[in-house]
Amino acid sequence: MNVYFHTFGCKANQYDTALVVQAFADQGATVVDDPAAADLAVVNSCTVTHESEAKLRRLVRRLARQGKRLETVVMGCAAARDDGAIAALPGVRAVIGGAEPAAVLRAAGMSSPPVPLSAMRRGGTTSRSRGLLKIQDGCDEHCTFCATTIARGANRSRSIPELVAEAQALAEHHAEIVLTGIHIGTYGQDRTTDPGRKPGEEPDGPPLGDPRARARGQSSLGRLLEALIVAVPQVRFRLSSIEATEVDDTIARLLIDAPRQLAAHLHAPLQSGSNRVLKRMGRHWYTAESYRARLEWLAARLPVLGLGADIIAGFPGETDDDHRATAALVEALPFTYLHVFPYSERPGAAAARLGAPVPPRVLHQRARELRDLGEAKARRHHAGRVGRRADGVVSGHRAGKVEVLTQDYVSVYLPTHEWNGSARFEVTVR
Ligand code: SF4
């Protein structure tokens, strides 16, 4: 059977798709890049914005118009929240909430594998040089704009030994490993102890992580990073997205002291620079001030830092003053790029009940203004890096060029003939 895969959404979804691809390959299926050559399509869906679901519907309709009247299995976050609308799309064979490979295989009419799947059995998850390691799934928070908690459930962290073993396998093929998940800063909070460790007992080396978590024998993201760096020191790890105030002292120390092992890059969701809006978003664990303080403290101690953020423009009830507070915070911090999302209502999320909708014209104007600010900051950061040496990892190839990603998340494009063939090397930013 030839199977075409498509993934919407975040790196956690890419990781999930890779496991499903592996399950199909293990059962003898052939993965094809062209839907015209496929007997079945599997689409991993995303529910983060109205637009991501609209794109899903467009793709499924397009697949159904293929010559063979291709059938599609829709999996993932939007599938988990389907009220029948996805199932009713043309050509949809099954809607599978979540990303369990065995369930997707069964929906495709194939038998499920007898042993649990692991990404370790696969060479990789993204490009040859960058791999993904999903450390946890789900989230215990209930941000009022987000439907992820509904789609993905509560925080579930994988154990440190399992993740170390998977990182060691990934390191055979990848120079960089990106730690991904849905709320990675809460890694370990759902686990009382790691196997083989008693509460309060340390692994080799100095005390790690949050002392309260340590006293409970609990793992934390800092503790996991320490273990990964010891086990695979040749790899550069990168954090996919982490709340600024969840960058604890252990993580900060690693960013400062181990730049070859942990990339100087944080993607720290801000969402709003107005405390009034943050409160109504349900983001109770930080304020504009605590967010700013943590990032300024870190930026002052790092020679270079890639710093990104997600921002929602036009949350219900957002005033001009709220918007100006966000713009001022963006101005003040050394962001190197921004992801700006115009607010879109998600069915089941509480935000729409919390304030009057911002008129679409104003909402898009605010989004544009923030995007312009982000682009100006990105240009400034890039200009400041041109001519400097950086720690580069190859992240892709296109049109006769090699894309090399620096520790601070700047892409450098080298003509292929200038590339020495290694996956990681010192590159001059251009
Ligand atoms: S922290 Fe908030 S925005 Fe992030 S996944 Fe959890 S509920 Fe969604």
pLDDT in tens, 45-56: 999 888 999 999
Count CA atoms within 13 Å of residue 391 on its CB side. Answer: 21
The residues with which 310 forms a beta bridge, in sequence order, are 339
d(CA 77, CA 148): 7
d(CA 332, CA 292): 9
Helix H segments across 266-359? 275-281, 288-301, 320-332
Q: What is the mean pLDDT of residues 266-286?
A: 97
Provide the pLDDT confidence category of residue 196 given band limits of 50, 70 and 90. very low
Query: What's the order of all strands across the beta sheet hosting 424-428?
Result: 411-415, 401-405, 389-398, 424-428
Provide the pLDDT confidence category of residue 417 given band limits of 50, 70 and 90. very high
Q: Select the more confidently predicted residue: 98 or 192.
A: 98
Does residue 117 carry a pLDDT above 70? no
> Is 92:86 a contact under the CB 8 Å cutoff?
yes
pLDDT value of position 122:
52
pLDDT value of position 194:
57
Q: What is the mean pLDDT of residues 121-132?
A: 62
pLDDT value of position 345:
85
The pLDDT tens digits for 210-232 are 555 555 556 899 999 999 999 99
- Measured from the Cα of 145, ligand 1's closest atom is 3
The position carrying tokens 């009057």 is 356
d(CA 210, CA 252): 12
d(CA 275, CA 187): 26
CA of 287 from ligand 1 middle (Å) equals 16
CA of 9 from ligand 1 middle (Å) equals 14
Cα angle: 266, vertex 271, 276; to 5 degrees: 135
Provide the pLDDT confidence category of residue 114 given band limits of 50, 70 and 90. low
Instruction: Determine what percent of the chain is predicted with pLDDT higher than 90.
Output: 82
pLDDT value of position 198:
44
Secondary structure class of 297 (helix, strand, coil) = helix
d(CA 409, CA 414): 16
Q: What is the mean pLDDT of residues 154-159?
A: 96
The residues with which 405 forms a beta bridge, in sequence order, are 393, 411
CA of 362 from ligand 1 middle (Å) equals 25
- Residue nearest atom 1 of ligand 1, based on CA coordinates: 141
- Measured from the Cα of 146, ligand 1's closest atom is 8
d(CA 41, CA 20): 12
The pLDDT tens digits for 44-86 are 999 988 899 999 999 999 999 987 789 999 999 999 999 999 9
d(CA 329, CA 327): 5
Residue 310 burial (10 A CB sphere; 0-12, 13-18, 19+): middle
- Residue nearest atom 4 of ligand 1, based on CA coordinates: 183
Q: Which residues line ligand 1 (CB under 6 A)?
A: 139, 141-143, 146, 148-149, 182-183
Model-level pTM? Answer: 0.89
pLDDT value of position 115:
52
The string of DSSP codes covering 132-189 is EEE-EE--S---TT--HHHHH-S-EEPPHHHHHHHHHHHTTT-SEEEEE-SSGGGTTT
d(CA 137, CA 154): 8
